Structure 1
Amino acid sequence: MSELLVSLTEASTLAIDLIALCVIVYGTVEAACMVILHVVTARDDGLERRAIWLRYARWLVAGLTFQLAADILETSVAPDWQTVGRLGAIAVIRTFLNYFLDRDLAEIRERNREGLTPRKGEVADVDAA
């Protein structure tokens, strides 16, 4: 029974990591295309450039969240403490990255709800974009 649980966990971890990979690759390709389009059209609009990076940050947050879920699963069947420690360190790094990206996005959303004008280089929430 234990071997079945380990096999299911490893398969689930692989599937979740694949989802994370797809999310991050899609977001990266989308951001790269938007940047190229921005450069080709010769628009030097800081607000549009910031919107591109905010949208990219959302994709990264989603990908990091999936990766963290895979790390949590992986630690549940880790064979030794060294592996648990390594996975724990990776999970902490991903959690901090996720936290700061998400905090930046939430701050912009809150400022938009309050009707405040964006700071220099900041744009309105781009959820609809």
Structure 2
Amino acid sequence: MNDFFYMIAQALEAVSFTIMIYGALLAILMFIKNEFTRFSGKFTLNGLSKVRIDFGYYILLGLQFLIAADIIETILKPELDELIELGGIVAIRILLSYFLTKEINELKESETHKSS
């Protein structure tokens, strides 16, 4: 039974990495597309802000899957060392998520003010 849950945790980690890599590839393509607008004279920082916002969402989603995988692994192996490690990892990921969300919201707000 434990093997099944370890496989679930590994699948969640794989999903997380896939989401983040996919988001990174999309962000790279959007960035390149935005940079080409420099040549046509239509470049704005709004395009770059959109790239950052979209990429941030993919990172946040990937982090959520990683936290879920860590929780499953710790439930299966509830040793003190594992719990301390999980606590540290989750704290770091929650802080990252908090600051990414805060930055995304600030970027959205500044975009809204610019378009008004």
The TM-score normalised by the length of structure 2 is 0.81
The root-mean-square deviation of aligned C-alpha atoms, in Å, is 2.4
1:74 aligns with 2:81: no
Percent same amino acid among aligned pairs?
Answer: 24
1:34 aligns with 2:33: no
Comparing 99-108 with 19-28, greater Cα deviation is found at 99-108
1:25 aligns with 2:14: no
1:102 aligns with 2:101: yes
Letter in 1 for 2:87: G
Q: How far apart in 2 are the matches of 1:41 and 1:104?
A: 25
Comparing 68-77 with 83-92, greater Cα deviation is found at 83-92
Aligned residue pairs, count: 112
Q: How far apart in 2 are the matches of 1:15 and 1:55?
A: 24
- Structure 2 spans left out of the alignment, 5+ residues: none
Match of 1:117 among 110, 113, 116: 113
Structure with the greater relative contact order (CA < 8 A, sep ≥ 6): 1 or 2?
Answer: 2
Q: Would you identify which runs of 4 or more consecutive aligned residues in structure 1 move more than 6 Å?
A: none
SS in 1 for 2:77: coil
Letter in 2 for 1:102: T
Q: Which has the higher helix share?
A: 2
- Structure 1 spans left out of the alignment, 5+ residues: 125-129
Q: How far apart in 2 are the matches of 1:103 and 1:75?
A: 29
The TM-score normalised by the length of structure 1 is 0.74
